[in-house]
Amino acid sequence: MTATKPDLTPVANTIRGLAIDAVQKANSGHPGMPMGMADVAAVLWTEFLRWSPEEPEWPGRDRFVLSGGHGSMLLYSLLHLAGYPVSIDDLRQFRQLHSKTPGHPEYGDTVGVETTTGPLGQGFANAVGMAIGAKMVAARCGTELLGARVFVTAGDGDLMEGISYEAAALAGHLGLGNLVCLFDDNGITIEGHTDLATSENIRQRFESQGWNVLECDGHDQDAIRTALKMADRPRMQPTLICCKTTIGKGSPNKANTHGVHGAPLGPEEVTLTKQALGLPAEEFYVDPAAREAFAAARARNEELRQQWHTEFDQWQQQHPDGAALWQQLRKPADRNILFDQLLAVAGDDRAATRAISGKVIQRAAELVPALVSGSADLDPSTKTAIQAGGAFTRDESRGRTLHYGVREHAMGAVMNGITLYGGLRAAGSTFLVFADYMRAPIRLAALMKISTTFVFTHDSLMVGEDGPTHQPVEHLATLRAIPNLHVFRPADGVETAAAWTHALTRNGGPVTLALTRQGLPPLPHQDGWDRTEALRGGYLLVDADDAKATICATGAEVALAVEAAKLLSADGVPTRVVSIPCLELFHEQDDAYVERVLGTAPRFALEMGRPEWWCQLTGRLDRCIGQSTFGASAPAADVAEHFGFTATAVAARVRRAL
């Protein structure tokens, strides 16, 4: 006999009702997507997805990403029904201050939320990164128990964003068979039907990118089951399931219209919709049959979790090397030991900080097994490949270097996904001027407080002949404007070692490194100087008795400040020099240290970029020596002279301001 498949309509309609009521009570939100994807979610969560409210961070769980974060009530309803700490009262507080149910899911605020998905397409690319992380951890440790399947829902808006094209192409190229995207194919966006703006054939697009593509009626539960079963077969392709759905399913007057996308149904339509769905008028009603379905799924998943732990314990006993690596991947590095080891390879010769970083990262990879790296087709310039780690490819998942191709936007979000998967710390690189392509994932990493490292080289006007299109002027300032992001711009080997030490030991936020193309001289550190001060974000480099000025500088401009200070001191203006490789970290130090470093003399700031940011230290814009216009195409030395970045010109600026 064929087993009777459960009717999950009570589950789907409960999800619809909860979404309707939460949005209506908040008078804000997006009910249409949860109503349209309720059947798909009901089948996935009760019959296929591995999850555990008993151990939310269970390594063996599947990952579920809601890429269209505006449909957050779908996820919150699922978490509530699954027994995560999201109560009915929490649902009533949807979109309210300090609630567990903000307008878009926020990683770290709500248990069960795997990533923060705000801008469309970010979650899709995060899911690609999670799938990479799963394959990487499983292959390196030698057990599929540490791998996972990754399911991501994405709508028309997600797939219109360019980042999804980049990320999908990478996923197909790498053969991520553990990735399934559930496409909410409802043909509606905020302005109306999608034919206003696109006529793309999504199926053919994904097939051309190497995906396995399936289709189903997103409201036919048996069809959904069949598609998910087919997607779960072993394969070397990610799978896209095109789920044909009706946005706002169940609403008599607003279903299949853009009016249900991002606004409450309104009291009258709520009543009519509940009647059409067979739901009582009671607010936040949960059908007992929905509770029963999720209770059965929870019990089944608990058995899977216990079985997983039994098998994992056996594996650890039988494979001590793999088990030891798994422990190392999750163990934080010792900050002091790491710094000492990285200092030993940084050297004190004249060199570009990108070249120093290239040496440092090789030693860091030996000491921090969790580090994985890559670049957007620029490793010959950015030097971030882990040389002994091999490349992560379709056929080799143990590699620690990722070749992202010319896909900066996807790279940033994929890096976040790798970090979010657990056990890995992702780094990736491109030129600083291309940070604009990555601003959304950098900002989200800072918002999520995750330890992704963004490496940028060619960090100033000294790019030279490539000209103003490649000479970053505003980029350091715009990065520093992102809350919780530490921007580290080292000036020599010591500071480069400090930058990587901080990047690999900071918990609670991302770090960016801004590195030079041109060679820099070693700085004149005083004998007996405590090098750990470089880990404090700023320190006194050159002191002067009865100082009349202090020049604060970063990166390549620190050596320039030293030369300018020599000229000023010889001319009767004793000048101190302070190196501030990371302004954000420096501000986190105690007041006594900051004041001791900055001193009491008038302060000047020197950096080849927008000067306004430095007014917080100098108090006056005329004491900020920076660059407020675009650059020019010429040899680097000529560019520096033209824009006044020579020791003589800097010294003259200081004299005038004094």
Burial per residue of 296-325, b for 16 or more beta-carbon CB atoms within 10 angstroms, e otherwise: ebbeebeebbeebeeebeebbeeeeebbeb
Per the annotation, the verdict on 191 as an active-site residue is no
User: Of 161, 269, 408, 607, which residue is the catalytic one?
Assistant: 408
SS3 635: coil
- Among 343, 327, 389, which Cα is nearest to 362's? 389
DSSP codes of every residue in 172-207: HHHT-TTEEEEEEE--EETTEEGGGT----HHHHHH
Residue pair 400/365 in contact by the 8 Å Cβ criterion: yes
Phi-psi label, residue 450: left if phi above 0, alpha if psi -120 to 50, beta otherwise: beta
Strands (E), 398-498: 401-403, 425-431, 453-457, 486-488
Q: Which residues contact 64 (CB under 8 A, 6 or more apart)?
A: 44, 45, 49, 51, 75, 114, 151, 152
Calculate ∠ Cα 256-198-251, nearest 5°: 5
- Inter-residue contact 130 to 417 (CB < 8 Å): yes
Closest CA to 593 of 576, 578, 611: 578
H-only helix segments in 232-346 = 267-277, 288-318, 320-330, 335-346
DSSP summary character for residue 98:
T
Count CB-CB contacts under 10 A for residue 533. 19
- Could you tell me the two tokens for 379? 């490793």
| Closest CA relative to residue 177, chosen from 131, 213, 209 | 131
Residue 321: CA atoms inside 13 Å, Cβ hemisphere, count?
3
536 contacts 590 by C-beta, under 8 angstroms: no
Map residue 112 onto helix, strand or coil: coil
Among 146, 149, 215, smallest CA distance to 183 is for: 215
What is the rounded CA–CA span in Å between residue 158 and residue 70? 11
One-letter amino acid at 544 equals A
In one letter, which amino acid is 558? V
* C-beta of residue 247 within 8 angstroms of C-beta of residue 263: no
Rounded-to-integer distance, Cα 316 and Cα 448, Å: 32
Cβ atoms of residues 155 and 376 within 8 Å? no
Dig out the tokens for 658 from the structure: 């004094």
Written as one string, the DSSP assignment of 22-48 is: HHHHHT-S--HHHHHSHHHHHHIIIII
538: which 2 tokens?
């700023």
Do residues 391 and 399 make contact, with C-beta atoms less than 8 angstroms apart?
yes
Tell me the HSE value of 423 on the side-chain side, using a 13 A CA sphere.
26
Asked whether 451 and 510 are in contact (CB, 8 A), the reply is yes
Cα 409-440-178 angle, rounded to 5 deg: 55
CB 336 within 8 A of CB 505: no
Known catalytic residues are 408
